[in-house]
Structure 1
Amino acid sequence: MYEKEQPTRTPPLVDQAFAQLRRDVLGGTYGAGAKLKLDELQTAYGFSSSPLREALSRLAQEGLIRADERRGFRVAAISAADLADITRMRVMLDVQALRESIAHGDDAWEAAVVGAFHRLEKVEARLGDGPVVLDEGWTDLHTAYHMALISACPSERLRTWSASLFDQAERYRRYSARFRKTSRRKSNEHRKLMDATLRRDADTASALLEEHILSTERNVLAVLDQVEHRQQTG
């Protein structure tokens, strides 16, 4: 006899508001420095002020938006200095989280890493070569892969901080992708990182992850320089 399928529960309004706002901030719907006005957000998303305020507070805690001096909110600015700070902290925290994950991971963790890589590789194979390649589906799978790598780290705080910094870096990746003429797939980098991780070669995996993070910074900085040059030359 088949079990009765349980009805799908709708996420709380705060979670819905947070997910939609987070998606649009990462995707560039609201540009860097843009004022997030509560009345306009209510019209755009159909939520009341209470869940929206809570969602904005959570996004501020993640560093994706900033609390305004007059008790409002703005999307966090984009700058080379901010990116450098995010990158420095990611190298410090993500590499340590990966080392601890390698030390504590079991067979189920290995399977989760392989599965996450496979799903990411499949979607990357379907990406076009145009400038807008980092869509929502890719972002979700890319995030899932990197979070799978560190998921066996026993420190919840370390995993949480790494995830928050990853999201902040993701905004820069999504921003820079809109200005690139060709896509920059990283399947080979992701595979090498996975292989070293599954071999439990912590030194090689750590070096690969650090370079992976630093290469993202270099790619984004190149785009930021191009955008600044265009603005200066009109």
Structure 2
Amino acid sequence: MHKQEIPANEPPLAEQAFTRLRQDVLAGTFEAGAKLKLDELQSAYGYSSSPLREALSRLAQEGLVRADERRGFRVAPISEEDLADITRMRVMLDVPALRESIGHGDDAWEASVLAAFHRLEKVESRLSDGPVILDGEWSQLHRTFHLSLLAACPSLRQRTWGASLFDQAERYRRFSARHRKTARRKSSEHKKIMDAALRRDADTACALLEEHILSTQRNVVAALKAAQAAQS
């Protein structure tokens, strides 16, 4: 009897579980602070407990999930304090990374930034007047654009940690979008950052990126206060 061969291009089950669970945590499918029960996750995703435990442990390392004192897992809570910490770290890491990237970027880097912005803008132009971040394709292209700006930074750790913080902020961006009455598009902000970066004006590009990050914090804080007021 021959063993069933796993296709070479098929990711391991733990990787599949991690990718799907991570996507749903970022999208807000699970409420902040919600208990992530293994039996319910097994039913929802069809994986056994082993790959799910590994996926949850990896999400805990990223700060998207918290390990419960009873050896369980919960979605990380949402708070102004946590967002302030994420924002502070993003400014500390991403702004210098952009300056480094501008200094080291070559023609291929410029082309990748332009292509990433073009794809983002094309998708955004096709979307309705609702919050664009709630569209999965736009959200992925938005991430790709931001990471492309920093891609020429020579520090792998800086890029890796920056990407993780970007994803942690994603939960807050989506929360803000769901609780905001008016949609806010950022294509003009993205273009200004890109244009400054491509003309190698590091001071302007870095100032624009920092304000871009801080504006997200202000919007989320306003949404958090509005949500709290609605509950009281």
Which stretches of structure 1, 4 residues or longer, exceed 6 Å deviation after superposition?
none
- Scaled by the length of structure 2, the TM-score of the pair is 0.94
Distance 1:211 1:76 in 2: 26
**For residues 160-194 of structure 1, what are the alpha-carbon distances to aligned partners after superposition, in whole Å with 9 as ceiling and x for unaligned?**
11001000001100111111222211000000000
2:118 aligned with 1:118, yes or no? yes
Shift of 1:126: 1.7
1:209 partner SS: helix
Between the two proteins, the alignment pairs up a number of residues equal to: 226
- Report sequence identity in percent: 75
Distance 2:52 2:60 in 1: 12
Distance 1:106 1:130 in 2: 36
**For residues 45-65 of structure 1, what are the alpha-carbon distances to aligned partners after superposition, in whole Å with 9 as ceiling and x for unaligned?**
001111111111111111111
| Map of 1:4 onto structure 2 | none
| Map of 1:176 onto structure 2 | 176
**For residues 84-130 of structure 1, what are the alpha-carbon distances to aligned partners after superposition, in whole Å with 9 as ceiling and x for unaligned?**
11101101100011111111111111100000001111111122223
| Map of 2:77 onto structure 1 | 77
Greater shift, 133-142 or 113-122, is seen at: 133-142
| Map of 1:57 onto structure 2 | 57
Shift of 1:131: 5.1
**What are the residue-to-residue correspondences of 1:1-234 with 2, within 5 Å?**
9-130=9-130, 133-232=133-232
Distance 2:10 2:182 in 1: 39
**For residues 118-146 of structure 1, what are the alpha-carbon distances to aligned partners after superposition, in whole Å with 9 as ceiling and x for unaligned?**
11111111222235752211110010000
Structure 1: state its 5+ residue gaps: 1-6
1:66 partner SS: strand
Distance 1:133 1:77 in 2: 20
Distance 1:132 1:38 in 2: 32
Distance 1:90 1:192 in 2: 19
- Scaled by the length of structure 1, the TM-score of the pair is 0.94
Distance 1:62 1:178 in 2: 23
Amino acid at match of 2:219: N
Structure 2: state its 5+ residue gaps: 1-6
1:74 partner SS: strand
Distance 1:176 1:144 in 2: 21
1:100 partner SS: helix
* Counterparts in 2 of 1:131 and 1:207: CA distance versus 1, 3 Å: closer
1:71 partner SS: coil
When the two chains are superposed, the root-mean-square deviation of aligned CA atoms in Å is: 1.3
Distance 1:106 1:165 in 2: 26
Distance 1:14 1:115 in 2: 32
1:130 partner SS: coil
Shift of 1:219: 0.8
Shift of 1:13: 1.0
